[in-house]
Amino acid sequence: MQDIIAFLVKPWPWYVTGPLIGSIVPILLLTSQKQFGVSSIFKHICTVTKISKSEYFNYSVKDHSWNLLFVLGIVFAGFFSFQLIEVKQGFLSENAIQYFVGKEITIEGIFPVETYRWDNLFSVYGLLLIVGGFLVGFGSRYADGCTSGHAIMGLSLLSPASLVAVIGFFVGGIIGTFLILDSLL
């Protein structure tokens, strides 16, 4: 048991974890006839709570309940990995470490909790969470998918829509990082 936990906790190389992520595509297709995707959860939440009368949110969520359960499993994975056992992260590159040190951001775990604190919410950090989160929700619906549905599932199907979207993801991400994040952090 000790050995198993030690194995789960230690960092795994990218060429192991990448294929494991990719394996979710055939697993979902073959076990459940489902195309992998995550971001529609936000749409289903809007629909369930009936906050909008828009036609866009008028459908039966029951047919998509698997997505809500799948996301629940994702939440459990976060709980298991960081609250039950403590999964360790691999080493960042030297350049990245220097960048975070320069920005006075403590490197620990998977999220800079000392920087993004509740008492810091009405600052640039809260703004990044709100604007960034808004764009994740807005953009994923506008693009018809996120990193899961387009980058993993869509590219696996060699879908032109997904290729266009993924190019957009990286164009936006690079602009956001160099033009906005670098100057705000």
Partner 1 sequence: MIKTLKYILLGFYFGFVLIKSEAVSWYRIVEMFHFQSFHLFGVIGSAVVTGIVSIFLIKRLYLTTLDDEVVDLTPKPIRFKANFFGGILFGLGWSLVGACTAPLFIHFGAGSYIIVVAIAAAILGTFVYGTIKHKLPH
Of residues 63-92, which lie at the interface with partner 1 (CB under 8 A)?
Answer: 66, 69-83, 87, 89-90, 92
In the region spanning residues 20 to 49, those forming contacts with partner 1, defined by CB under 8 A, are: 20-33, 35-36, 38-39, 41-43, 45-46
Is residue 61 a contact point for partner 1 (CB under 8 A)? Answer: no
Q: Which of residues 150-169 bind partner 1 (CB under 8 A)?
A: 150-162, 164-169
In this structure, what token pair is assigned to residue 185?
Answer: 């952090």
Rounded CA separation 142/13 (Å): 34
Say whether 27 sits in a helix, a strand or coil: helix
Angle at 156 between CA 143 and CA 70, to 5 degrees: 70
Size of the site for partner 1 (CB under 8 A): 124
Counts of helices then strands in the chain (DSSP H, E): 10, 0
CB of 91 to partner 1, least distance (A): 9
93-122 residues near partner 1, rule: CB under 8 A = 93, 95-96, 99-100, 107, 109-113, 116-118, 121
Q: How far is CA 89 from the centre of its chain?
A: 17
